[in-house]
């Protein structure tokens, strides 16, 4: 952990380890910056040229030090070790103002940008191989978290990072653990933590005021993300009423019930015990919804494996909702095309690689959030032709407003992570090991060979990875 004591210059000693490039994100938690380790730094030997994302936390509202959100995130991240989950590289404290900085590997993309690029730029659906690979990796990372009694509580496309360069190209990283927590034998009801999960991905038991909930809330969010990968738009786009701390959100429930139909006590026995179900006779129990059919929204055959998996993720009763471990064993992942470790390579011979845009960098903003940097180039491969300085970009939230895009909370979404050693006590799960085989016969396409090489490099030690069924 670095400190904030000044060195030869007025800059903190830890800050002198980095060459700052610019700001890449901003949210209620603070700022995220893009930087590089200087070549002279001891840690740079094995990470030469790799960009680093540095997440700066604001002080706590009470002004008495580090925020509880930051402490929770550090405590969890230092214990986590999985290919599909972000990892902490370093932690720095600036003692002058008690500001806290977390360092991660930089991820070029996130699912929000991938989906938006297909919707607004390409006007083309994401290919089945990529959807399946992204979903499998997301479930793989989530299964690791849930196996270690960690619930994320804020899964959404902007918090699912995608590595864009290097050996981890096309691998996702679950990010932003500000709302995550251990849920084994909690001392207090989890509802005491306040509202969790961005509203479009919030499970119905949360919207109806459940005092206790489980990892099933993450699986509901995964179902919403799965549908969004298929349709390129959010499945349940409710409008959040922020004037009250009451978890009850009528518009969001209305959006859910219109697609999935009215919940019943027969199908969801514990529904009658939820506070908002009991207290809102007029809007919830009094209004009868007809099931318009989820399959008509996502355009999947009702008897197909993809729809079966999605409907199990969006099961009303959290006790019946499919778990991450069960989902990884689902038939959907055992049918061609099999999911792969690199989700961004083409699915068919002759198919072009999609050039996803990297997130914009404000090259005029320093670590204090002031505009004092000189324009600089982006990481290797991201600079415009001719090596000209990159112009200053609008903050990401302003860009979204200008483009009329989906609302999002970018907290932690602009970071990737790798490199921190795991601590003792965590249940070991094999990270990754996703099958890359995509059939035989004929001349192998270069991208198929690349997939095969990825497969051989993974060791294939996980006994639960999908196996392709024999077809007759």
Q: Which residues are annotated as a binding site for ATP?
A: 56
Sign (positive or negative) of CA dihedral 386, 167, 411, 88? negative
The residue behind tokens 């919940």 is 263
Q: Are the beta carbons of 40 and 398 closer than 8 angstroms?
A: no
Rounded Cα–Cα distance for residues 74 and 71 (Å)? 5
Q: Which helix (H) or strand (E) holds 94?
A: strand 90-94
Rounded Cα–Cα distance for residues 455 and 266 (Å)? 46
Helix, strand or coil for residue 338? coil
Q: Residues of 417-454 as b/e, b for ≥16 C-beta within 10 angstroms?
A: bbbbeeeeeeeebbbbbbbbbbeeeeeeeebbebbeeb
List residues with catalytic annotation: 154
Other Cβ atoms within 10 Å of 178 Cβ, number: 24
* CA nearest to 328, candidates 135, 178, 198: 135
| Burial classification of residue 147, based on how many CB atoms lie within 10 Å of its CB (0-12 exposed, 13-18 middle, 19 or more buried) | middle
């Amino acid at each position: 952990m670095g400190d904030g004591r000044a060195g030869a210059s007025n800059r903190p000693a830890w800050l002198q380890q980095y060459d700052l490039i610019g700001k890449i994100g901003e949210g209620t938690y603070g700022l995220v910056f893009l930087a590089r380790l200087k070549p002279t730094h001891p840690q740079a030997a094995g990470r030469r040229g790799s960009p680093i994302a540095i997440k700066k936390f604001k002080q706590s509202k009470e002004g008495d030090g580090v925020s509880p959100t930051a402490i929770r995130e550090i405590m969890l991240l230092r214990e986590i070790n999985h290919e599909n989950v972000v990892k902490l590289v370093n932690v720095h404290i600036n003692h002058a103002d008690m500001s806290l900085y977390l360092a991660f590997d930089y991820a070029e993309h996130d699912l929000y940008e991938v989906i938006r690029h297909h919707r607004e730029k390409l006007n083309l659906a994401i290919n089945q191989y990529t959807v399946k690979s992204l979903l499998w990796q997301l479930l793989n990372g989530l299964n690791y978290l849930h196996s270690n009694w960690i619930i994320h509580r804020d899964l959404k496309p902007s918090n699912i990072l995608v590595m864009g360069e290097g050996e981890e190209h096309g691998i996702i990283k679950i990010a932003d653990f500000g709302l995550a927590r251990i849920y084994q034998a909690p001392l207090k009801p989890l509802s005491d933590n306040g509202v969790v999960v961005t509203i479009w991905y919030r499970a119905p038991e949360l919207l109806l005021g459940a005092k206790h909930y489980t990892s099933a809330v993450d699986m509901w969010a995964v179902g919403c993300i799965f549908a969004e990968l298929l349709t390129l738009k959010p499945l349940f786009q409710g409008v959040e009423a922020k004037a009250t701390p009451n978890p009850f959100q009528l518009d969001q429930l209305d959006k859910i019930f219109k697609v999935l139909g009215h919940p019943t006590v027969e199908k969801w026995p514990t529904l009658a015990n939820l506070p908002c179900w009991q207290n809102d006779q007029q809007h919830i129990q009094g209004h009868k919804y007809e099931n318009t059919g989820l399959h008509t929204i996502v355009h999947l055959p009702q008897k197909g494996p993809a729809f079966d998996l999605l409907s199990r993720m969006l099961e009303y009763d959290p006790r019946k909702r499919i778990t991450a471990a069960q989902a990884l064993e689902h038939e959907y992942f055992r049918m061609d095309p099999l999911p792969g470790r690199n989700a961004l390579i083409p699915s068919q011979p002759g198919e072009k690689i999609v050039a996803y845009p990297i997130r914009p960098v404000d090259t005029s903003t320093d670590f204090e959030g002031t505009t004092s940097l000189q324009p600089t180039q982006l990481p290797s491969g991201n600079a415009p032709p001719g090596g000209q300085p990159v112009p200053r970009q609008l903050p990401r939230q302003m860009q979204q407003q200008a483009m009329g895009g989906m609302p999002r909370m970018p907290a932690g979404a602009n970071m990737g992570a790798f490199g921190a050693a795991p601590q003792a006590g965590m249940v070991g799960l094999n990270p990754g090991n996703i099958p890359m085989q995509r059939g035989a016969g004929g001349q192998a396409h270069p991208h198929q060979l690349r997939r095969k090489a990825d497969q051989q490099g993974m060791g294939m030690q996980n006994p639960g990875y999908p196996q392709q069924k024999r077809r007759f």
